[in-house]
């Protein structure tokens, strides 16, 4: 099983927009969101605009072999441009628990050496377990875990530094 990242080009943005409601649905468990009157977990497609208009926002698809498996939206954290931040991360259910997310993240962390942070909703304990494991695969125990406020939500913050992939 080969896990890879592919930058999302503008002409493939519609694919990300098609996947995004599944991410919103998954997050509704923690955010309390409900489907709209048409039964859809909708979002504002304009919220994705920075990924094609700002250089410090980079969208990727996650692939397993040649099959679309999810996405990761990378950005510089607002007010801390020296820190990489995972804005959104999503792996389709059929690929969960198979190491796909961890392998995709290891590739991403290795391609962008420097300071990182991962924000995890306080209530999402399963995600926190995943993220801690994914980070430890890359930096062992060389990370910091804290509770902080992000905009208006108390979240877990995992902070660490990654190194350039050895193969590069």
pLDDT, tens digit only, all 168 positions of the chain: 999 999 999 999 999 999 998 888 777 767 767 777 877 777 889 999 999 999 999 999 999 999 999 999 999 988 788 899 999 999 999 999 999 999 999 999 999 999 999 999 888 888 999 999 999 998 999 999 999 988 888 899 999 999 876 554
CB 25 within 8 A of CB 41: yes
Quote the CA–CA distance of 11 and 18 in Å, as a whole number: 13
Residue-wise pLDDT for 82-124, tens only, equals 899 999 999 999 999 999 999 999 999 999 999 999 999 888 8
Strands 67-77 vs 80-91: parallel, antiparallel or unpaired = antiparallel
Whether pTM exceeds 0.85:
yes
- Closest to 102 in 3D by CA, of 75, 125, 76, 69: 69
* Domain formed by 3-162, architecture: 3-Layer(aba) Sandwich (3.40)
């Amino acid at each position: 099983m080969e896990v890879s990242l592919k930058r999302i080009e503008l002409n493939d943005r519609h694919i990300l927009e098609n996947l995004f409601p599944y991410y919103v649905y998954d997050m509704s468990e923690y955010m309390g969101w409900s489907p709209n009157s048409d039964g859809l977990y909708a979002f504002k497609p304009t919220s994705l605009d920075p990924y094609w208009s700002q250089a410090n926002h980079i969208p990727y698809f996650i692939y397993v072999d040649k099959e679309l498996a999810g996405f990761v939206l990378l950005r510089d954290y607002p007010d801390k441009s020296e820190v990489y931040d995972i804005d959104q991360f999503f792996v389709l259910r059929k690929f969960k628990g198979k190491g796909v997310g961890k392998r995709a993240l290891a590739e991403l962390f290795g391609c962008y050496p420097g300071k990182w942070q991962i924000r995890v909703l306080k209530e999402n304990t399963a995600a926190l377990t995943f993220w801690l494991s994914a980070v430890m695969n890359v930096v062992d125990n060389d990370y910091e875990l804290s509770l902080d406020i992000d905009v208006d939500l108390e979240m877990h913050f995992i902070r660490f530094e990654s190194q350039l992939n050895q193969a590069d």
